[in-house]
Amino acid sequence: MSHRRLLETESHWTTRRGKAYLTERVVMHGRDLHKQLGDYEWLHLYLFSVLGRDPGEAVYRLLNYFFVATSFPDPSIWPNHVTALGGTARTTPSMALMAGMSVSEASIFGRRPEVRALDFFYRAGHWCDEGGSLMDFVEREKSRGRTLYGYGRPLARNDERIPYALEKARELGFGDGRYLNMALDVYDYLNGAYGYSMNIGAIYSALAADVGLSCQEYQLFMTPIFLAGMVPCFQDAYDKPEGAFFPMRCTSIVYHGPAKRDWDDAGSTAR
């Protein structure tokens, strides 16, 4: 990039997404925040901020359900575990919640698998549009060593959220979408051929594809999805004695490394 591009934005930022004209008005995606968007529920506004448009009541209610159904107030779930550790260490709510949210973008749960599942469905749809078989695409992904995100679930065989999510999708008119049907067909194939189960990531990602979210839009929208479940975990740990959240005594630590560390070895720079 030429330095000229940097000079153009040194003291001037051109945007169509938003601006606060202090003492006058605030604009988000061309609408007055207080006059035109003031009656929005907060999550509806958040969705509007991500998309730059209002996708309609049915889409909003569907995506709102994702948040409600994923608010597990259980400190054994990893993001909640981190938030509870913040509570037991007496950090601030903001620090604890942000720490928990930051680890929700993991390799086996949360944001990364969801986005990769959405990408899978979009690529599968393109493959089928070109005349390919869906199951051939699945086998092609497996042969390349790619994880089929949305299928299988750590720690549990089944996902209790799936029947409720499907019921909500049908209620709101999304029960027969192309990608949702694709997700169910892939499950039927993988379950019959390999015994794979399905987790909610496949359902949510397929529905996100059916309502037209891009991978980045989906990731942005889903980022704070665990927050409501994190809060009780923080409060519970904060209300108990400091340090009382699953403390571990030294004798419980299993260590198989060197019996004694040589602090003056060649690889150490400490003196």
Q: Could you read off the pLDDT of 159-212 as tens digits, one per residue?
A: 899 999 999 999 999 999 999 999 999 999 999 999 999 999 999 999 999 999
Looking at residue 107, its pLDDT comes to 77
List the structure tokens of 188: 């039927």
Flag whether 96 is in a domain. Answer: no
Same-domain check for residues 50 and 118 = no
C-alpha span between 124 and 121 (Å, rounded): 5
CA distance 204 to 266: 52
The CATH number given to whatever domain includes residue 191 is 1.10.230.10
- Tell me if 93 is assigned to some domain: no
Verify that 30 and 122 share a domain, yes or no: no
120 Cβ contact partners less than 8 Å away, ≥ 6 residues apart: 141, 148, 149, 150, 205
The pLDDT, as a whole number, for residue 156 is 62
269 is a domain residue: no
123 and 208 belong to one structural domain: yes
Q: Is residue 212 part of a domain?
A: yes
In whole angstroms, give the CA distance from residue 164 to residue 148. 23
Q: Which residues are paired to 198 by β-bridges?
A: 151
Q: Is residue 36 part of a domain?
A: yes
When pLDDT is cut at 50, 70 and 90, the band that residue 12 belongs to is: confident
Mark whether 215 and 115 lie in a shared domain: yes
More confident residue, 13 or 52: 52
Q: How far is CA 27 from CA 15, 22, 178, 220, in A?
A: 11, 11, 36, 20
Show the tokens assigned to 171: 């209620």
Helix, strand, coil share (%) of the chain residues, nearest 5? 50, 5, 45
Containing structural domain, residue 17 = 13-54
| pLDDT tens per residue across span 94-126 | 999 999 999 988 877 778 888 999 999 999 999
d(CA 243, CA 7): 51
Confidence (pTM): 0.88
In the predicted structure, residue 27 carries a pLDDT above the cut 60: yes
Residue 224: what pLDDT?
94
* Size (the chain), residues: 271
Tally the domains of the chain: 2
Residues 6+ apart with CB under 8 A from 118: 205, 208, 209, 213, 215, 218
Rounded CA-CA distance 117/12 in Å is 38
Answer yes or no: is 209 within a domain: yes
Q: Which residue in 67, 83, 64, 63 sits closest to 75, CA to CA?
A: 83
Whether 194 and 124 map to the same domain: the answer is yes
Whether 268 maps to a domain, the answer reads: no
Q: Interior CA angle at 109 toward 104 and 111, to 5°?
A: 55
Burial environment of residue 180 by CB neighbours within 10 A (0 to 12, 13 to 18, 19 or more): buried
The residues facing 110 across adjacent strands are 105
Domain closes at, from 222, 243, 260: 222
Same domain, 36 and 127: no
Q: Name the DSSP letter for residue 53.
A: S
Task: Give domain status of residue 35, yes or no.
Answer: yes
